[in-house]
Every structure is written in structure tokens, then in C-alpha cells.
Amino acid sequence: MSDKVLAWALRACGIVSGAVVLLIMFFLMQESLPALQRLGLARFFTDASWHPAADASQGRFNITAMVSGTLLTTAGAVLLAAPLGVVSAVFSHYYAPPRVARVHRRLIELLAGIPSVVYGFWGLVSLVPLLNALHPPGQSLLAGIVVLAIMILPTVALLSDAALANVPRSYLDGAAALGLTRWRTVWGVALPAARSGLFTGVLLATARAVGETMAVLMVCGNVVRLPGSVFDPVRTLTANIALEMAYAMGDHRSALFVSGLTLMGLVVLLVAAAGVFSRERVYA
């Protein structure tokens, strides 16, 4: 096959993939337009509370508490899962005997495919009662962070694993020739060489955490309020959509799509921030 045809075919793949998000954006905007027109953007941040109604004039539509809920759960989960995920990848590459590493990897692959309902279920039945004994009601920011962290851990671990697998053999041989200890090889050579892959993994995991719905809904408590501590319940933007969409009509329904749009906005900000904070080009 000729190179030109190939290049065009591949470009087409790229464009089609990129276009999907535009379609989704278009859809979200179309659905949230009625609420934005009748309420204006400002009311989503200045209203007294979130008590939506099908008629815009009767409801209150403040979503800031849910924005912070999403940010807090995501931040907590990433802070927990990112180091642990990288450690897991380092373990299976540099510390574990090959057979153990293979089993370990298979376990993490399985963890990646457990439905969020099952995670939520486990959180609700096993984790929440434990936290409840510690500090009622148990359904809390902390429960959300822990469950989310476990859910995004496989994403970080598997992508880090793939990134470490691509560190050129010669780098490691060089380190061995210099007589570096294992940890110095990992810290000084392997991790820096795999940096961009690790970064992609964390970024995708963060996006997954932002978008996760079912599990969060089951363990977070979903009260619309700024949490005073990690033991207080929070509601995320995704839980807000999932909880209320089934029965929402009119402007309420449309306002839920504004939640969705806000969520997309958050992801855009995260991606942009990631670009600024990493000195390296994100996509090596």
C-alpha cells in the first residue's frame, strides 16, 4: 500500500476520533441551552442553593458545592492512586520475580474490569460501615476517595507498566555497569526515562476519576454542601446527573446538562493545567 494512502487513512482515523468529542459537546450544549437561556450562567454560581425545579423561576441552581465535590474526590483519589500505581508498575518490573510479576499484572487487569456498580456495592457494604464506626454517617468524601482511588489504580498501574516496559535496555545496562543500586536505577534512570508515559497514565486516570458516576453515587452521601472534613458527605457533578436525571423535567433536566457541560469545562482546565505544570512536552 502506498504511503500517501496510508497517511490519509490514518489522518482520517485521527480526525474521526477527535470529532467524537465535538459531537458530544454539541449535544451537551444543545441540551443545556434552554437552561442557560432562561437562567443565565451566573445563577449556577450565585443562587442560594441547589433546589432545582422544572420551572426555572421556582428553583435554585447553585452548583459550586458539586464542583468542589468533584474536585476534592478527584484530587484525593489521584493523590492516593498515582504513587501506588507507579509503585505497582515498578514492583512488577524491577522487584518481583517474573512469575510473581505476571500474576500481579493479571490481578490488576482484572481490577480494571470490575464494574463500577460492584465497586460501589463493596464500598457501601464493606467500607462505609467501617467508616461509620469511625465517624458517622460513613458515606463521605473519604469513602469516595478510597473507592475512586481503587478504581483508577489499574489505569495508572497498567499504563506505567507499559511505559516502564519501553525504557531502553541499554539505559538499565548502563546503570548496572555503574554499580547503581536497584532503587537508584529505578529512581534515577527508569522513572525519568518513562516520565511521559507515567504522565499520560495519571492524566487518563484523573479524567476517569472526574467522570466516574455509579460508585461515587453509592458511597459519597450525595448531600449538596461544602464538606467541613473528609468525614462529611459530598455530591459530585456526575452523581448529580445520575441521581436526578431519571425524574427531571423541563429546566431541571436542562440544568443537569449544564452540570455535564461544567464537568467538561473542568476536564479542559485540568488538561490545560497539566500542560502548564509539566515542563516536558506532555506527549513525547
| Residues 121-160, interacting with other proteins (CB under 8 A) | 121-122, 124-126, 128-129, 132, 136-139, 150, 153-155, 157-159
Residue 113 interacts with other proteins (CB under 8 A): yes or no: yes
Residue 180 interacts with other proteins (CB under 8 A): yes or no: yes
In angstroms, the CA 252 to CA 240 distance is 11
Using the minimum distance from each CB to other proteins, give the nearer residue, 33 or 114.
114
Cβ-in-10-Å burial (0-12, 13-18, 19+) of 33 comes to middle
Using the minimum distance from each CB to other proteins, give the nearer residue, 42 or 97.
97
Using the minimum distance from each CB to other proteins, give the nearer residue, 3 or 229.
3
Residue 75 interacts with other proteins (CB under 8 A): yes or no: no
Task: Of 25, 85, 70, 68, give the one whose Cα is nearest residue 205.
Answer: 85
Q: Which of 42, 57, 98, 247 binds other proteins (CB under 8 A)?
A: 247
In angstroms, the CA 273 to CA 152 distance is 20
Do the Cβ atoms of 39 and 56 come closer than 8 Å?
A: yes
At residue 53, what are phi and psi to the nearest 5 degrees? -145, 160
- Give strand ranges (E) for the chain: 50-51, 60-61
Cα-Cα-Cα-Cα dihedral sign, residues 65, 67, 73, 76: negative
Q: Considering the complex, what minimum distance in angstroms separates the CB of residue 55 from other proteins?
A: 10
In angstroms, the CA 284 to CA 270 distance is 19
In angstroms, the CA 74 to CA 97 distance is 33
Using the minimum distance from each CB to other proteins, give the nearer residue, 42 or 170.
170
Q: Choose the binding region for other proteins from 36-44, 61-69, 109-117 (rule: CB under 8 A).
A: 109-117
Q: Which of 32, 62, 88, 262 binds other proteins (CB under 8 A)?
A: 88
Q: Give residues 183-212 in contact with other proteins (rule: CB under 8 A).
A: 183-184, 187-188, 196-197, 200, 203-204, 206-208, 210-212
Q: Which of 65, 71, 114, 230 binds other proteins (CB under 8 A)?
A: 114
Residue 214 interacts with other proteins (CB under 8 A): yes or no: yes
